Amino acid sequence: MSEENGMSRRMMLVKLGIFLNAIVGAVLAMPIVRFLFSPVTREKKFGYESWLSLGGLEQFPAGQTRLATYRNPVTNSWDGETADIACWVRNVDGQTFQVFAINCAHLGCPVRWFPQSSLFLCPCHGGAYYQDGSRASGPPERGLFQYNHKIEDGKIFIKAGEMPTPGRAANTQSGGATCA
């Protein structure tokens, strides 16, 4: 066996080694990628978004806007208080309700309701919204996010489970029409 032949044979074995490791690497990469992307694929899981009770209607008098809280439907035991989410419930006339996300449509800061001036104001960059959630002024491009809601057995339920952000408000409705 010539030295050249020996070299090429060993080189072939080296290539075989690289090939084998590439295959193993590719096979291992799949579960790693799936693991990493589990927060994204979990969206399809049952119970990700569900109807949650905000409590009896008597807590939300007609013509007023009140703060309500709920526990997120999907939680881990170590989430602590971060899984408690707040929202604003507006009882328009005793029949019609609006449920606004706490998150400003600009960058997600918690908006505060001022009944005296009938405005929602954001502490971060000064976004302001009218009582129907439509944009009044400031940097937000749109009105407050609204949750879908229904009334059953004298309680108000909202469909929630995901933090509303400007890019994914598909599950929520936009606030009322923009007024100048």
Partner 1 sequence: MRLIQKIGEWLDLRLQLGASIRETAKHPVPRETASWFYVFGSAALTCFMLQVVTGILLALIYVPSGGEAWNSLQTLNHGISLGWFIRALHGWGSNFMVAIVLIHMVQVFLFGAYKFPRELTWIVGVLLLLVTLGMAFTGQIMRFDQDAYWGLGIGASIVSRVPVIGPWAVNLMLGGPIIAGATLSRFFALHVFIVPGLLIAFVGVHLLMVLKLGINEWPMPGRVVRRATYMQEYRELTHKQGIAFVPNAVWKDMLFSGFILLAIATCAVCFGPFGPGGQPDPTIIQTAPRPDFFFLWIYALLSFLPPSAETPILLIGPAVGIIVLLVLPFFAGEGEKSWKRRPIAVLTILLIAVALGTMTHLGQHTPWSPVMDAWSSEPIPSQYVRGRTALERQGALVFQAKQCHNCHSLGDRGGERGPALDSVALRLTQDQLIRQVIQGGGNMPAYGKNLSPAETTALVAFLKTLHPATQVPARDASRAVALGAGETAADP
Collapsing DSSP to helix, strand or coil, 21 comes out as helix
Kindly tell me which residue out of 18, 110, 150, 151 binds partner 1, with binding defined by CB under 8 A.
110
Establish if 83 lies at the interface with partner 1 (CB under 8 A): yes
- Single out the residue of 85, 86, 49 nearest to residue 66, CA to CA: 86
Establish if 140 lies at the interface with partner 1 (CB under 8 A): yes
Q: Is 65 left (phi over 0), alpha (psi -120 to 50) or beta?
A: beta
Segment interacting with partner 1 (CB under 8 A) among 15-23, 58-66, 75-83, 92-100: 75-83
Segment interacting with partner 1 (CB under 8 A) among 12-20, 35-43, 57-65, 89-97: 35-43
Q: How far is CA 147 from the centre of its chain?
A: 11
Residues 24-27: contacts with CB under 8 Å, at least 24 apart: none
Tokens standing for residue 168 = 């994914």
Residue 30: which H helix or E strand, with range? helix 3-36
Q: How many residues bind partner 1 (CB under 8 A)?
A: 61
CB 106 to partner 1: min, Å: 7
78: CB partners within 8 A, 6+ apart = none
**Which of residues 12 and 179 has its CB atom nearest to partner 1 in the complex?**
179
Establish if 29 lies at the interface with partner 1 (CB under 8 A): no
Residues that bind partner 1 (CB under 8 A): 36-37, 39-40, 42-43, 48, 67, 69, 72, 74-86, 102-103, 106-112, 114, 116-119, 121-126, 128, 130, 136-141, 161-163, 165-168, 170, 179-180
